[in-house]
Amino acid sequence: MAATDLRVGEYGGSTSTVDTGTTDALSRQPETFDYSQSNQFKIYLPIFPTTEWFVVRANIPGVTMGQASQYTPFVDVAVVGDKLQYDNFNMTFMVDEQLQNYMEMYNWVKNIGFPFSGKDQFNRLPRPDNIDRGNNTQTRIRRMKEDTTDHGTTSAVVSSSDRNLYTDIKMTILTSKNNPIANVTIYDAFPVSLGNIEYSQQESDTDYAVCEASFAFSWFDVAASKS
């Protein structure tokens, strides 16, 4: 197979050289041709233990990098940005017959939003995972990740009384043989939307109720599974 031309100085594989700017396409051939199956995943929701068993759909959030433009008399030059914007983490779960998983999430939304009483509702629910993020430095809000360049702060300016409203969500991607292959950890998440539940007596077939939930968060990591 013919080598692929590159711009001088670019590297394109194990056989590429600075002098020729070429590479052997066969050296870039992937070692595996298995595809990720969209139904092979598991969700871990520390503060929603009942809900996590009924999740039927979830996504790895999208990421957008901002950009700037450098003005010239001719075509403006695109310049890389310096801030990421994350889409929300969205998931869909089947609603159990007693609505326990729905109420689990709805009560937590009220725990954040306190619709009629801040004193009686705000941050009044205990965390099911029994983790006190307000006192545990290992679970503090990580809205400003440690910067090895300027050694900046590692936590955001968030009241210690508010930290228990956040949680970390883990999405485990599985192989076709149900073995964990990767973990997506979503940090400092909190629900921002809990969808409606549709009921109808016009359905001829059994149609189970589902509900959608959306979470905002600080950032996420993707890492190979160790198990």
pLDDT per residue as tens digits for the range 50-78: 999 999 999 999 999 988 899 999 999 99
35-224 classified as CATH 2.30.110: yes
The residue behind tokens 């310096």 is 82
pLDDT of 103 higher than 80? yes
Alpha-carbon distances of 220 from 64, 85, 86, 167, rounded to whole Å: 13, 11, 9, 12
* Angstrom distance (rounded) from CA 88 to CA 81: 21
Entry pTM:
0.75
Q: How confident is the model at residue 101 (pLDDT cuts 50, 70, 90)?
A: very high
Query: Which of residues 26 and 3 earns the better pLDDT score?
Result: 26
Are 50 and 93 within 8 A, CB to CB?
no
Task: Find where tokens 């190979």 sit.
Answer: 224
The DSSP element (H or E) to which 129 belongs, if any, is none
Q: How far apart are CA 194 and CA 210, in angstroms?
A: 11
Listed by start position, the domains of the chain span 1-33, 35-224
- Residue 184 has a CB neighbour count (10 Å cut-off) of 20
pLDDT in tens, 170-193: 999 999 899 999 999 999 999 999
